Structure 1
Amino acid sequence: MRVFSIASWAHFGSLVVSIAMFGFGVVSAVMVIAKGTFDRHWGVWCTGALLSFGPLMVAANTLAQMYAFNPIFLISDPAQMDRLVLNFVLYFLPFVPGALFLGLVFLRGQKSFGKVYFANMGGSGLGGLAFLLCMYVVFPDDLILVPLAMWAVAGTLWFVSNGQMVRLAVLLVLAAGSAVAAISLPQIVVSEYKGVSYARAFPDSERVYEAASPLGYVEVYHSTYFHFAPGLSDMAALNMSEMPSDAFLGMYFDSSGPVGIMRELPESQQAYFRFLPMYQPFVLHPDEPSVFVVQLGGGISTQVALAAGARQVTVAESNPMVLDAVRDDPFVAEWTGRFLDDPRVTVVPYEGRLFAANTDERFDIIDFSLPDSTGLSSPGGISVFEQYAYTEESMAAYMRALSDDGVLAVTIWNRENPPKAVLRLFSTMAAAARDVVGGDIADHFFVNHTYLSTVTVMFSRGGFDVADTQALTQHSSAMAFDVLYAPGQTWDRDDGPAIFQAFNDLYFDPERLETEGADVDMSATTLYRLVWSHLIADEAELVSDSYIFDVGPLTNDQPYFAGYIKTRDMGTFAGMLDAVSDQWGYLLLWATLALASAFGLLLLVLPMIFGWRTIFSRQPGKLGVVVYFFGLGLGYIVVEIALISKFVLALANPTISASVLITGMLVFSGLGSYLSGRFLDRARSL
């Protein structure tokens, strides 16, 4: 999964789990049907499985990197589908000998199955934990050496305990050859369409920082070709005598990004900050406000707050790798002017949403602006991962942490056409505000945007009065920002049905759009104003039902910005994937579920068809056992997946969450199996 995250896109890594389970399922089905053959030649099969696992693992990953597939071209290039199938087959192969060896051990250890199963589950859990720890010291390119070493050690113990010295020698030769191949051949080939590939291609590109841990692989590059403008007003170039140049480093996480890290600007360029969208709350709080920055990211929001004269800036960052890079690395820290060492700055080393929900402090300004600099969408499909910082519950926590006249400002990228993420943010913040305010929210929002750049939603705890609204409107005009909603603004919703219908026709009935919707204004500005008029009127459900995509609010139970396609429309969109390329990651998960279910059912049925007499003739009650264990396995995996998501809510990192949860479940499942042997004699049928 780490290979997929760095080389291509993280959501394809979830397929590895399905491939692994499929490998175990295939081997189990074959062993049930041909149990006698495996029983008679048990030693030969064990040796073959054990010796082949390591070389197959290295060969499969090396070949998969050589013949990687690119999801962007799955529709336009038929060869990509062949590469995708090839990747499935290649990553399937190593799981065959692994599953076969375990099956053979279970076959021979039936009389002490509880102990054998405990060894398997406990070893799997502790092995995963050991691998997690190794990620702190081994860089991603060499990570394959860790399971390779585990395989070599396990094989050595097996052959030594059985006195098979010749086979041990063969194992050591294969292990050495596999290690040499893993070191000599590239184990991670980063897609040319990932952000870091562009940075590496710049003529003057220089990597100035690199670090790896279970939290990710971080790289920081310097190049004069970096030109970040996170929502920068077009008026900056017209009003500033000197624009910053060579002002940014690019920080990449698992090859994705960049996150802009701004250098310390000289006094002559400090006006640059006024043209950024995150400066807007300071228009209302010019006199030494207290500021809370929800997520440090590259640090631009914190630098804006300091430049605007904040008396106190509290900034949260849950990823210690970001703090290590921005604050502790000598080169990067000097580049930024060591702004995190400013006595006005207090760093909170955990999630901002958790801090906001539990602090007694109240802030004049809370900023949550472009923390990753790349927004919420990326080429190749939006990654399907939890965004708890943007949920309704988190937004409500930020709002409650404001002072009486405090302002929460949330800025995200506004690059989608037709819009999706922006509308989901709108509905989420409106729902949170209604929960906090407890009534009419018309005076509590001010919203503006720049076309295909950024959108900023500002919420005032006490409401925007006439003077506040006028000040923000004048600032928006000076910055050439389009005002989408302001207190006192009214919008004629009579054209609403036609606008929503036009967006539906864009996908489902283009011919009707050309004839009946030719005069409909489908601009993002018009759509945003229409949506806000409905949200202020407490008609969020009408928006979600009428719009082509699901733009309902994010919650802690559904914290995903990805997944805009409504369930009822999946079949239709499946035939027009080129029109929803940013949703491939989401659709791929559904396709994976469908394939996994189909193959799982097939693997369950095949042994029952071909081995019916062997399975059921002597013990007729086995059908009930099969059904029972099917339900048990299904329940186990459902609980596991749900808990991984919930652990992210508490631990704030998917890798740590999955590792802790899976290790715990495997180890304790193994302990349960081990202890069950003590109660076997007292067991009764129900």
Structure 2
Amino acid sequence: MTVSVDLDNRPSLSFYLSVGLVAGSIIALQIGIMRVFSVGSWAHFGSLVVSLAMFGFGLTSAVMCVAKGWFERHWEGAVKGALLAFGPLMVVCNLAAQQVPFNAIFLISDPMQKWRLLANFVLYFMPFLAGALYLGVVFLKAKKTFNRVYFADLVGSGLCGLSVLLAMYFFKPDDLIMAPLLLWLAGGILWFVAMGDRRGIAVIVGVAVLSAVVHYAAPPLLGIPKLAVSDYKGVSYARKFPDAQRTYEHASPFGYLEVYSSSYLHFAPGQSDNAAFNVPKMPANAYLGLYIDSEGPAGIIKDLPADETPYFRYLPMFYPYLLKKDPNTFVVQFGGGISTAVALKSGSKHVTVAEGNPALLTAFREDKGLRAFTGDVLHNPKVTVIDYDGRLYVAGTKNRYDIIDLSLADSAGLSSPGGFSIVEKYSYTREAMSAYMRALSPGGILSVTMWNKEEPPKSVLKLYATMVAAARDVDGGKDVAQRFYVVSSYLSTATVLYKRDGFSPQEVAELNAHTKAMSFDEIYYPGFKVDTSELPQILSDYRDQFFFAGEQADPTAPSEKEPNDKPPPGMTGAAPTEVKADGTPPTAKVPATVLGRLAWHYLINGGWQKDVADNYVFDTRILTNHQPYFAAYIKVGDLLKFTDRLELVQDEWGYLLLWATLGIATVFALTLVLLPVIFGWRTIFSRYPGKAGTMLYFLCLGLGYIIVEVGMISHFILALSNATVSASVLITGMLVFSGCGSFFSERYLDRARTFMPKIFLAIFAILALYAFTIDYALDWIGTLPYALRIALCMLLLFPPAFLMGFPMPTAMTVLGRLGKDHMFLWAWGINGCFSVIGAALVPIVATSFGLPAVVLVGAFAYLIALPAFFSVLMPLQPQATGVGRPATA
């Protein structure tokens, strides 16, 4: 039996708790699905889950606006149906989506992949639609006390988001769906308690138990996976090796760590091929494969005996140890421990190693198998461990090092086909490189080795430009020609050495001799000569590789343009020139090597931007803390040119997908926003004044809030060193503090006309200040113990988030009290729909203009909302009372 409840007149505490828990389960479901995408396929598809959730709110708003009368009459049934459907849909849709064999790599070549991607989105959209319907009906029935309900919504969402972070320690990714399911169950029980519906309590408990049984029992019975990992993820290869064994497994917010052993694992990063002929005894089964969220492998090297240590000489990170004997070494990132092993076996008297991922440190410190395999490297008396980012440590320490090593910090490269296109790489920025260089002792060497697997070259050109810019910062703009030595191995690695006081001729000769012995390519050294006349042809050939259309053999034949008719660069033209009298080396047959040499010539001697970067087919801007991306290589002006040749830029699909998402989100958002207008412009909104201003107001709030929230996640990685933790802390802090702001906003409703403009100006001022100064605070916070880092990040969030909690509930409550019921529903949908656009806009603005620009866009959105707020306050016209004149009291 149910009781009649007036949600506008002091509902029970269980009602508010129910709203908070169900709203929290929606946030938890978003985070959970993001983790599923990250482990099973590619992370950038997970970011689209936010869009799916907000589309659910937009569609619900549009339908409810058109059919408001029906929902007011049947609100209890609508809430009950949506609530009972939400939980089972979570489980069933997630399980069904895992059976859809979508693979981003074949998105262009296989037309079925587009339909499979659509199927994934439709399946994951369904539970969000049910959750949005529950909240939408509750908001409609409690519109006059929206501030309090919105407070419960935001605070519950934030705290539940944090609970999912804790749940990641207990549930592996394939079972993480249980976290939102349990939150939904608790919220559902409290709803039926508030409604006095005992039968409903029994029903929802039964439905929850059945849903859990389906999740755990159906996969083994039907022979289907709970989490399908793409065949093209690194761990899938390891699992298929005949003798593969998983020797370590651990789930946490810092990633799902797996370590595999196999005789098929041969991980010699950048090693010279000459090692096979010259090393007396090659190590057998020298590596374990480390996989984080199924990506990898990062090699874990075993503790080699003395007779096998010559192996290290053939690795590119050995270069600085040719010149430095018994050095004091700093390793910027521990990773799988290869650089640390090289440093120890090459005679370092002491090694300081940093690692920002606590889960990695725990594995190497506590797992008996890893400790035995690596010789307990982290407990070696010569090793000191720094448990936060190395770039932050060197920026603050007074210690100086003979060698600073940053080698192969990423598992398989800086970008992967179809995914991880927009990932912050703060360890490689101009500011980080400057910090490394300043932390060198006199004559010290910075060694940076990174993957060089791209043809045409992209990442390495950004690295080269970034390191030269950093060197000029450190050396006060002086000539840096004597300070660099660069080598590469085609489609393998590139190594850049920077020496604080410059390389002597004897040191250059020693390095050149080693390079020749390794059969590596010399890219630059002091005194290196290069034939600059080849630059125009190289740049032209690389551009033609993508945009050359070829010539039509028969003018009367149908036009057929192939994007890659022309041979690759270096395959045409005159034969390589011989050595010239002035010592100019012969032109390499590999165009990427030629371009690398030309790049260094112009970086050192001037003209890089004008002669090379502006004319190169890809974007080669340097990395900074404001734009820390080895990504977004396609220049914005060339985007449309690549639409018919996407197969040539597979590693940029993630970036291109962001643009596609923005376009699709804009179309769908505008459609949902205008749907109520199309159906009810004359009947519903004809007497509602201030429609355009109200729409602009909620549009700005939707854009502004999500842009600040998502943009700040990238900023806070500076301090928290992990995207998942940063997202969870940001979401929790923003929602909880905004919920508090929502609660306090009710006190100022009567004077909102004069009070709210001050709030908007304060939000704008704080965000504008944060855009350019918050990085300095986060760099300092990042050096503190992890729990303290989280607390201080929360403290930084409080001022803007608290004030950003005022505008939405204030306006919604005003609409409810003015009797603008349809506008109330429409406004909620506008806010949700433009949140979708904002989420898609953030990475595009970040890669194009920098992270401060993202926060500034959010700040200006709130500033524009200020004058639009007065449209919200406009009362209904007299005719809206239905009697042709104003209603009397």
What is the TM-score of this pair, normalised by structure 2?
A: 0.76
Mapping of 1:235-384 within 5 angstroms? 235-286=274-325, 288-384=326-422
In 1, Cα distance between the equivalents of 2:62 and 2:480? 60
| Structure 1 residues 615 and 387, CA gap change in structure 2 (3 angstroms) | farther
| Structure 1 residues 29 and 296, CA gap change in structure 2 (3 angstroms) | same
Deviations along 1:105-146, one digit per CA (max 9) or x if unpaired, are: 110101211101111111111110111111122211211011
Equivalent pair of 1:615/1:622 in contact (CA under 8 Å): no
Instruction: Flag structure 1 segments of 5+ consecutive residues without an equivalent.
Output: none
Mapping of 1:358-437 within 5 angstroms? 358-437=396-475
User: Deviation of residue 621 (structure 1)?
Assistant: 2.3
In 1, Cα distance between the equivalents of 2:632 and 2:347? 40
User: Deviation of residue 510 (structure 1)?
Assistant: 4.9
Q: CA RMSD in A?
A: 1.5
Partner residue of 2:159?
126
Decide which of 517, 533, 538 is 1:499's aligned counterpart.
538
Equivalent pair of 2:43/2:420 in contact (CA under 8 Å): no
User: Deviation of residue 614 (structure 1)?
Assistant: 5.2
Partner residue of 1:197?
236
Partner residue of 2:739?
670
In 2, Cα distance between the equivalents of 1:371 and 1:441? 26
Partner residue of 1:158?
191
Deviations along 1:546-593, one digit per CA (max 9) or x if unpaired, are: 110001111111111121000000111122110101111111111111
Deviations along 1:334-367, one digit per CA (max 9) or x if unpaired, are: 0011122111110000001101111111111000
User: Deviation of residue 468 (structure 1)?
Assistant: 1.3
Mapping of 1:589-628 within 5 angstroms? 589-613=658-682, 615-628=684-697
Equivalent pair of 2:542/2:568 in contact (CA under 8 Å): no
User: Deviation of residue 180 (structure 1)?
Assistant: 0.8
Equivalent pair of 1:316/1:352 in contact (CA under 8 Å): yes
In 1, Cα distance between the equivalents of 2:418 and 2:366? 33
Decide which of 601, 611, 615 is 1:533's aligned counterpart.
601
Deviations along 1:505-555, one digit per CA (max 9) or x if unpaired, are: 111115384599821766211111111111112333132211100011111
Decide which of 227, 250, 262 is 2:266's aligned counterpart.
227
User: Deviation of residue 29 (structure 1)?
Assistant: 1.2
2:505 is equivalent to residue 466 of structure 1: yes
Which structure has the bigger radius of gyration? Answer: 2
In 1, Cα distance between the equivalents of 2:729 and 2:411? 30
Partner residue of 2:75?
42
Equivalent pair of 2:446/2:499 in contact (CA under 8 Å): yes
In 1, Cα distance between the equivalents of 2:711 and 2:232? 32
User: Deviation of residue 312 (structure 1)?
Assistant: 1.1
User: Deviation of residue 187 (structure 1)?
Assistant: 2.8
2:158 is equivalent to residue 89 of structure 1: no
Equivalent pair of 1:10/1:383 in contact (CA under 8 Å): no
Equivalent pair of 2:429/2:466 in contact (CA under 8 Å): yes
User: Deviation of residue 265 (structure 1)?
Assistant: 0.9
Partner residue of 2:848?
none
User: Deviation of residue 375 (structure 1)?
Assistant: 2.3
In 2, Cα distance between the equivalents of 1:51 and 1:353? 50
| Structure 1 residues 514 and 157, CA gap change in structure 2 (3 angstroms) | closer
- Mean alpha-carbon deviation: is it higher for 429-438 or for 95-104? 429-438
Partner residue of 1:563?
632
The sequence identity of aligned pairs, in percent, is 56
Corresponding letter in the other structure for 2:353: V
In 2, Cα distance between the equivalents of 1:158 and 1:234? 67
In 1, Cα distance between the equivalents of 2:216 and 2:422? 32
| Structure 1 residues 414 and 121, CA gap change in structure 2 (3 angstroms) | same
Deviations along 1:377-419, one digit per CA (max 9) or x if unpaired, are: 3243443211111111111111111111111111111111111
Equivalent pair of 2:290/2:299 in contact (CA under 8 Å): yes
Deviations along 1:58-88, one digit per CA (max 9) or x if unpaired, are: 1111111000310011111111111001111
Mapping of 1:52-201 within 5 angstroms? 52-184=85-217, 185=219, 186-201=225-240
| Structure 1 residues 522 and 479, CA gap change in structure 2 (3 angstroms) | closer
Corresponding letter in the other structure for 2:142: G
In 1, Cα distance between the equivalents of 2:216 and 2:435? 48
Corresponding letter in the other structure for 2:673: L
Corresponding letter in the other structure for 1:78: P
Deviations along 1:587-636, one digit per CA (max 9) or x if unpaired, are: 11111111112211222222222222454334312432221111121111
In 2, Cα distance between the equivalents of 1:54 and 1:541? 55
| Structure 1 residues 514 and 415, CA gap change in structure 2 (3 angstroms) | closer
In 2, Cα distance between the equivalents of 1:234 and 1:557? 39
SS in 1 for 2:550: helix
Instruction: Flag structure 2 segments of 5+ consecutive residues without an equivalent.
Output: 1-33, 220-224, 552-565, 575-588, 755-869, 871-889
In 2, Cα distance between the equivalents of 1:609 and 1:624? 18
- Which segments of structure 1 move beyond 6 Å, counting only runs of 4 or more? none
User: Deviation of residue 167 (structure 1)?
Assistant: 2.0
User: Deviation of residue 327 (structure 1)?
Assistant: 2.5
In 1, Cα distance between the equivalents of 2:752 and 2:489? 69
In 1, Cα distance between the equivalents of 2:573 and 2:227? 51
Corresponding letter in the other structure for 2:196: G
In 2, Cα distance between the equivalents of 1:515 and 1:290? 45
Decide which of 450, 467, 475 is 2:489's aligned counterpart.
450
- Mean alpha-carbon deviation: is it higher for 186-195 or for 295-304? 186-195
User: Deviation of residue 372 (structure 1)?
Assistant: 3.1
Equivalent pair of 1:381/1:581 in contact (CA under 8 Å): no
| Structure 1 residues 615 and 187, CA gap change in structure 2 (3 angstroms) | farther
Partner residue of 1:518?
572
Equivalent pair of 2:450/2:494 in contact (CA under 8 Å): yes
SS in 2 for 1:128: helix
In 1, Cα distance between the equivalents of 2:544 and 2:568? 11
In 1, Cα distance between the equivalents of 2:647 and 2:383? 47
User: Deviation of residue 161 (structure 1)?
Assistant: 2.1
In 1, Cα distance between the equivalents of 2:424 and 2:539? 28
Partner residue of 1:482?
521
- Mean alpha-carbon deviation: is it higher for 320-329 or for 292-301? 320-329
In 2, Cα distance between the equivalents of 1:366 and 1:614? 71
Equivalent pair of 2:541/2:568 in contact (CA under 8 Å): no
SS in 1 for 2:447: strand
What is the TM-score of this pair, normalised by structure 1?
A: 0.98
SS in 2 for 1:94: helix
SS in 1 for 2:482: coil
SS in 1 for 2:443: strand
In 1, Cα distance between the equivalents of 2:302 and 2:567? 49
Decide which of 657, 662, 667 is 2:726's aligned counterpart.
657
